[in-house]
Every structure is written in structure tokens, then in C-alpha cells.
Amino acid sequence: MNKDNVGIIEVYRIYKDYAKQIFYMTFSIFTLSIVYSLVATPLYKSYVSMYPTNNDNNLPTSFAGLDGIASTFGFNLSGSDASTFNFPDIVNSRRLKKEIILKKWDSELYENSVDLVTYWKLNEPSFISNIFSLKPTPAEHLQNLAIDHLSTLMTVYEHESGMITISLLMEDPTIAAKIVNYISDWIQIYISDEMSFKATKNRKFIEQQLQTAKADLYESEEELSEFMKDHPLSEEGPEEFTERARLMRNIEVNTQVYITLKQQYELNKIEELKERPVLNILDTGDIATEKSKPLRTLIVLASTFIAFFFSGFIMYCYDGIFRKGAKV
């Protein structure tokens, strides 16, 4: 008889000899899992899905050189769109979560709108605090507790296609829907403000370069004017001809730089003021009609299955110890 057959026979013997003990332990866990699934607070899920816009704001080829110069000063003149932002980082930021927990939300549990610290009753004194008359928990600590709890209920997923899905589990389905819709609105405002701020920085940078280009053009024109006064065309020799050509080339180059900068300056003024489509909302947060958690059937079946095998393992260990003691 091989070892595999011996193992199967041994397992069968354990479950047969200790059937009553295994049944009691499994039935106990089965009962507890049913009780837990019935008393556990139901959670409802709401979600939003969106695509970031992808606007083509690239610079013309003639302006590529200035973009390289601007990048050394921390500027990006080639423009940006919502797809350049990291959405999971924005959603998981403490700044957004703090605004969510401090905002007043309508709830059936309270007559007036309440923030999430109050909604989750985090500001109510605990049993131990009442017994020992402990000081109230500082507001900042309560906010941190609410942020941590919110983090466990909220998920953001970025699909390979670029679609962003933000979901939230809450005890109140209405609040869940309102929060995820608030998040999508907040993201649009945040990214739009950031893009406007960036456009303003770019415009100011180009404005500085434009003033410099204007001064260079004026200087090159003055140099040519002075040269022409001192060296009339009637008295011009080979050296004077070469110098005059160089000065005229300088004027042409500075003129082209000034015109290009002027065009880009006007474009950035428009970019700074225009309204930008930031997100394409595919699904708005709806009020869930069925709970997402707890999954009662799954909890009961999984708990019973695990309890059945774990109780068998306990009896196997007990049997080994008992038989070893009997031999001694």
C-alpha cells in the first residue's frame, strides 16, 4: 500500500472516529457565520466611471526650441491635458478625503446634515472613556480616523483602456452616490484649475521672453541704423558690405523670434481663459437598491467549509497526541 493510500485512510479514520466533535465544531462556526451575516451592517456600492480628455496642444515646429529653453526653468509650453494627471493619486489624496469627511451630507439617521465624523459616530465617547472620564479625542485625530475609514471603503481603478472607475461602499446608498459624484466634480475642478494655473505660468514666461526678444530686435535695428549713418552705401567696401549683411541677418532672426513669441503669447492668453473639457463621464453615481456587503451565502459557505477541514486538522493533532501518550 503506497503512502497516498495510507494518508487517505488516515484522514477517513479521523473524520469517522471524531465525527461528533467535528460536527459540533463545524455546526458552531456555521451558526456563528449565520448570526454574523444577519447582524453585520449592510454596505451599498456606488461608482462613477470616466475617461480623461486628450487634447492636442502641441507647439508648432518653429517653437520647439523655446520649449526646450522653458523646460530648463520648470515650464512645459507644449501644453497638457487631463490624461497627464495621475487619477489614483488625486482620488487617494488626503486633501480630497478631508473635504469629503468635513462636508455635510444628508442622512436618514439624522435630522440635519452631518459630516462623516458624526455620521460614523467617531466623536461619541467610548465606554472606556465614560468609565475613566478621559478627555475628548482631539478633532484632528477624529478627522484622521474618518479619513482612514473612508480609505477602506473607497477604491479607484485605472483600466488599461484609460478608463477610471471610482467606487465607494457606504451604509447609506444615497450618501454613497452623492460622494462619488462629488469626487468626479471635484476632480474636474481641480484639474481645470491646475491647467489654468499652468497656462498662466507659461504665459508669464513667454511674456518675459517676448520683452527680451523685443529689446534684442530694437537693439539690432539700432545697430544697423548707426552703421548705415557711418557707412553710406556709396562708400561701402567689401568689409562694410559683409558687416551690413550680418546686421540685417540679426534683424531677420530677431524679427522671426519676436513674431513667433508674439503668436505663442496670444495663444497662451486664450489657453489661460478658455474652459477645458477635463473628463468624459461615462457613468454617474446611482443610488444602489441592493446591498453589496455582506455576502451572506458566501460567508456561510466559506466559513462552514473552512471549519469542516480545520476541525478535522484539530482532531488529527489531538489524535496524534493522544495516541502518542497512550504508547508511553
Give the whole-angstrom CA distance, residue 257 versus residue 119: 61
Asked if the model's pLDDT at residue 323 lies above 70, the reply is no
Give the single-character DSSP code of 181: H
Q: Residue 232, preceding bond cis, omega within 30 degrees?
A: no
Average pLDDT value for residue range 154-165: 90
Asked if the model's pLDDT at residue 216 lies above 50, the reply is yes
Q: Which residue has the higher pLDDT, 195 or 170?
A: 170
Mean pLDDT is highest, among 15-24, 59-68, 150-159, for 150-159
User: Which range has the worst mean pLDDT, 11-15, 19-23, 237-241, 268-272?
Assistant: 268-272
The model's confidence at residue 228, banded by pLDDT at 50, 70 and 90, is confident
**72-73-78 Cα angle (round to 5):** 75
Asked if the model's pLDDT at residue 130 lies above 70, the reply is no
The model's confidence at residue 55, banded by pLDDT at 50, 70 and 90, is low
Count of CB atoms situated within 10 Å of the CB of 202: 24
- pLDDT for the residue 116: 92
Residue spans of beta strands (DSSP E) within 171-244: none
- pLDDT for the residue 272: 66
Asked if the model's pLDDT at residue 5 lies above 60, the reply is no
Residue showing cell 447582524: 39
Contact (Cβ atoms closer than 8 angstroms) between residue 63 and residue 75: no
Q: Hey, what domains does the chain have and what are their CATH numbers?
A: 1-40+294-328 (no CATH), 41-293 (3.30.1890)
Give the whole-angstrom CA distance, residue 163 versus residue 52: 8
Give the whole-angstrom CA distance, residue 37 versus residue 296: 5
Query: In 3D, which of 185, 158, 155 has the Cα closest to residue 51?
Result: 158
For a pLDDT cut of 90, what percent of the chain falls above it? 23
Radius of gyration of the chain from Cα atoms?
Answer: 36
Q: What is the mean pLDDT of the chain?
A: 79
Average pLDDT value for residue range 99-106: 93
Q: Which residue has the higher pLDDT, 61 or 159?
A: 159
| Contacting residues for 10 by C-beta, under 8 A, at least 6 apart | 316
Give the whole-angstrom CA distance, residue 118 versus residue 104: 10
The model's confidence at residue 328, banded by pLDDT at 50, 70 and 90, is very low
- pLDDT for the residue 151: 93
Give the whole-angstrom CA distance, residue 160 versus residue 162: 5
Asked if the model's pLDDT at residue 78 lies above 90, the reply is no
Asked if the model's pLDDT at residue 67 lies above 60, the reply is no
- pLDDT for the residue 29: 85
- pLDDT for the residue 289: 81
- pLDDT for the residue 288: 82
Give the single-character DSSP code of 136: P
Give the single-character DSSP code of 278: -
The model's confidence at residue 169, banded by pLDDT at 50, 70 and 90, is very high
Residue showing cell 451575516: 37
Asked if the model's pLDDT at residue 190 lies above 50, the reply is yes
Convert the pLDDT of each residue in 251-264 to its tens digit.
999 999 999 888 88
- pLDDT for the residue 275: 63
CA–chain centroid gap for 120, Å, is 24
Report, in this order, helix, strand and coil percent for the chain, each rounded to 5. 65, 10, 25
